[in-house]
Structure 1
Amino acid sequence: MVARRAGMRLVAVLLLGAALLTACGGGAGGPDVRGEWHLVEGAVDGSALPSPGGATATLRFEAQEVRGRSFCNSFFASYRLSGDSLVLDGLGSTEMGCEPDVMAAETAFLGALARTATVTREGADLVLGGDGVRLRFSPVPPTPDRALADTRWVLETLVDGETASSTTGEPAVLVLRSDGGVEASTGCRSGAGTWLVDAGVLVLDGLAPTGDCPPELAAQDAHVAAVLGGRPAPAIDGDRLTLSAPDARGLVYRAEAEGQREDGLLGSWELIAGTADGHALPLPGGARATLTFSAGSQTGGTSFCNGYGGDYAVDGDELRFEEVAVSLVLCEGPVGEAEGAYLDALLDRTHRFTVDADRLRLSSPAGELTFRRLLPPPLDAVSDRRWLLESVGAGGTAVPATGDASLELRSGGTAAVTTGCRSFEATWRTGGDTVHLADWEYELLDCPPEVAGQDQALVDVLAGGFQLRVDGDRLVVDRADGRGAPAPTLVYRAER
């Protein structure tokens, strides 16, 4: 593995020189240069090029450009090929910092590449030559196209027109799950939502990244968020995914190596059974424990009463939670006891994890925790429709709605709520099977007595995270976690 310094810089490198429309198969009578190649040996002025362990140099001729990896960074140039004569124009690269020996090898390789003037084939190999320069490449076996869904895509390059730049910060990751959920991060923020491919473009709903970004990551964060939200067209070439937005901005991802993947772990889960020190974990009614794994190695959830969040690390089939913080709401009785037992079993220990279909099992010397996967809310059937409140249910009794009470979840990430006496504007996002409203803007009004109870019920359910069930034109809304306290059920009908 190439160790990278923490202070990587984001540098945009303009591709200079005209793009010359030379076919990838070579010029007239020239060698076939198609495919990807990796450097196996090189020499400059009689001295061998350095070859640091754990890093490689590669080369790929495309329709108008030559691109590759120069041990640390990505490089690119336009080229002109006539017979075995090769001319590179506008050679440039990203500028990410790596270990000194890797950077020295990169400098030598790019310097040698700039001096090449010919390209020939020697058997299966490709040889670039020039005055005092010889670089021999062997073909890289073609990589089968990775699946768009259930692959962990790690962002490598930001594209803005003809400008390419490397990423910085934490790994920016995109995971499109086959169950319709999506996890994405920008390098400093992460979010979750739903996805689909419609007419050749990727449509992400409810993906509202949360968190704060330092100033040096603000531009990258904005770029990633704009492309993901701009209905980009996806294209897969082997282990590379390119998302191209209509405004000429794009993102280039690389599939994470199989040995590094947290197969099936990403997403949200609910505890359904557990043991600790030989005893069954209590599961109090009206409250639940959840666990979410997000892109960028972030985790969080609820522990029957409080919320928690932090980081996680995976090594093979081992999982450990790190730097986890828990909120400090005081819950007593069965809910408080269940929370203590759950957190003791989950944190400050290493687990072995297995994922089998919709079940996640964490095993440690202290016991075993079993979770079921939480599927995303049915947003396709709910968003961009106006739902009219029909009744508020509590304790087995349904009370008919009073006044104008409605709910709208717009695909752009905004929401509108009326309670019968007040109106709210908010933003919304999803997490697991739950919809969360935030940034509430509302009227400060006193509701008349006949509507006050309904107003309070809607606020109790919608402000705490809620779940959706759709049956035709009927929408049932329940509070996701009432910390053991009973919560009303809201029933809406779609406006005709």
Structure 2
Amino acid sequence: MNTLTGIVVMGAMAASTVAALPATAAGVEDQTFQSVAVTQDGQPRPLLPDTVVQLRITDGGLHARAGGNLITARVGVESTHLVVTDLHTADAPYGTGQHAQDTWLAGFLGAGPAWTQHDDELLLRVDGTEIRLAGLPESDRPLLGTYWILESYSRPDSPPTPGRVPAHLVFQDDEVQGALSCNWLSGQAVVVDGAIAFAGLGTTKRMCQQADIMLEIAIFDVLEGEATFDLDTDRLDLTAPDGRSLHLRAPF
């Protein structure tokens, strides 16, 4: 049995024995969960405005986010606790408050929270802190506000080239921000009639390896000027007029 099966069974497990995934719980696999309540010692623990905790477990991997940086890890199960290893948090230059919230969530998950699952609700607990999450129905992800990870990029008449985490984009209102590969990107992104018009794009000036530089050039080749977009469930394709494309996926 793979790690994911052991996790999603949750309430259907014996103390230290992983049971088979029951048919009634099959819909939990690869499901996105979103927080509905966060408490500390029985009292509400407010998150930053317009942020929630999102979490998804897929094939032994965990993705989580609380409005800022993406947190990734390997995840297993031991008795009534999750075992979280190889935890990594992206380092996008969010503000001090968002950085503190990202650090809190990473620490919570890295502590190996106890869990219970009932129907489509998941409860995670570390000491006096509890995060209650509800499963979200599978639907098309919105272009705006979704964390889009670059899976690959392509040119006309050539096979796709894999992207690299943490390359990602987040569109919000008329702006875009994210990671090219090594440097961080921000600028204007106006959505009009199935296309996005990019302008004023700027980046940080880190010292990057050659592979990162080549990937950043490939991304900029698509984001300079105007690109059409094709959105299908959790997939987003951005295509420049010359046919160069970015292929992105939503982890939540």
Query: Considering the TM-score relative to the shorter chain, is it more than 0.5?
Result: yes
Identify the residue that residue 75 of structure 2 maps to in structure 1: 79
Identify the residue that residue 134 of structure 1 maps to in structure 2: 130
Alignment check: 8 A CA contact 1:79 1:87 kept: yes
Give the superposition deviation at 1:121. Answer: 1.4
Matched, 1:64 2:60: yes
Identify the residue that residue 112 of structure 1 maps to in structure 2: 108
Give the superposition deviation at 1:114. Answer: 1.6
Alignment check: 8 A CA contact 1:50 1:105 kept: no
More helix, by proportion: 2
Alignment check: 8 A CA contact 1:186 1:224 kept: no
Q: CA RMSD in A?
A: 4.4
Structure (1 or 2) with the larger CA radius of gyration: 1
- Give distance in 2, aligned partners of 1:172 and 1:224: 15
CA 186–126 in structure 1, closer or farther in 2 if over 3 Å, else same = farther
Please list, as runs of the form range in 1=range in 2, the aligned pairs for 1:50-449 lying within 5 A after superposition: 50-81=46-77, 84-144=80-140, 156-158=148-150, 163-165=165-167, 166-167=178-179, 168-171=184-187, 185=198, 188=201, 215=205, 219=213, 221-225=216-220, 238-241=233-236, 251-252=247-248
Q: What is the SS of the residue equivalent to 2:47?
A: coil
- Give distance in 2, aligned partners of 1:214 and 1:108: 26
Identity %: 20
CA 222–52 in structure 1, closer or farther in 2 if over 3 Å, else same = same
Alignment check: 8 A CA contact 2:72 2:88 kept: yes
What 5-or-longer segments of structure 2 have no aligned partner? 10-17, 152-161, 168-177, 224-228, 239-245
- Give distance in 1, aligned partners of 2:197 and 2:102: 31
Q: What is the SS of the residue equivalent to 2:186?
A: coil
Give the superposition deviation at 1:134. Answer: 2.4
Give the superposition deviation at 1:126. Answer: 0.4
Alignment check: 8 A CA contact 2:73 2:85 kept: yes
- Give distance in 1, aligned partners of 2:43 and 2:50: 21
Give the superposition deviation at 1:42. Answer: 2.8
- Give distance in 1, aligned partners of 2:87 and 2:216: 27
Give the superposition deviation at 1:224. Answer: 0.8
CA 154–72 in structure 1, closer or farther in 2 if over 3 Å, else same = closer
CA 170–41 in structure 1, closer or farther in 2 if over 3 Å, else same = same
Residue type matched to 2:4 in 1? T
Identify the residue that residue 22 of structure 1 maps to in structure 2: 4
Residue type matched to 2:166 in 1? A
Q: What is the SS of the residue equivalent to 2:236?
A: strand
TM-score normalised by length of structure 2: 0.56
Give the superposition deviation at 1:112. Answer: 1.4
Q: What is the SS of the residue equivalent to 1:52?
A: coil
Give the superposition deviation at 1:135. Answer: 1.8
CA 25–172 in structure 1, closer or farther in 2 if over 3 Å, else same = farther
Alignment check: 8 A CA contact 1:65 1:77 kept: yes
Q: What is the SS of the residue equivalent to 1:103?
A: helix
Q: What is the SS of the residue equivalent to 1:112?
A: helix
CA 106–82 in structure 1, closer or farther in 2 if over 3 Å, else same = same
Residue type matched to 1:79 in 2? V
Give the superposition deviation at 1:215. Answer: 4.3
What 5-or-longer segments of structure 1 have no aligned partner? 1-19, 190-212, 229-233, 244-249, 255-496
Residue type matched to 1:141 in 2? P
- Give distance in 2, aligned partners of 1:62 and 1:152: 23
Alignment check: 8 A CA contact 1:155 1:252 kept: no
Deviations 1:445-493 (A, max 9, x none): xxxxxxxxxxxxxxxxxxxxxxxxxxxxxxxxxxxxxxxxxxxxxxxxx
- Give distance in 1, aligned partners of 2:54 and 2:61: 14
- Give distance in 2, aligned partners of 1:155 and 1:173: 15
Deviations 1:386-445 (A, max 9, x none): xxxxxxxxxxxxxxxxxxxxxxxxxxxxxxxxxxxxxxxxxxxxxxxxxxxxxxxxxxxx
- Give distance in 2, aligned partners of 1:82 and 1:235: 41
TM-score normalised by length of structure 1: 0.32
CA 236–174 in structure 1, closer or farther in 2 if over 3 Å, else same = same
Give the superposition deviation at 1:241. Answer: 2.0
Give the superposition deviation at 1:137. Answer: 0.7
Give the superposition deviation at 1:130. Answer: 3.7
Identify the residue that residue 430 of structure 1 maps to in structure 2: none
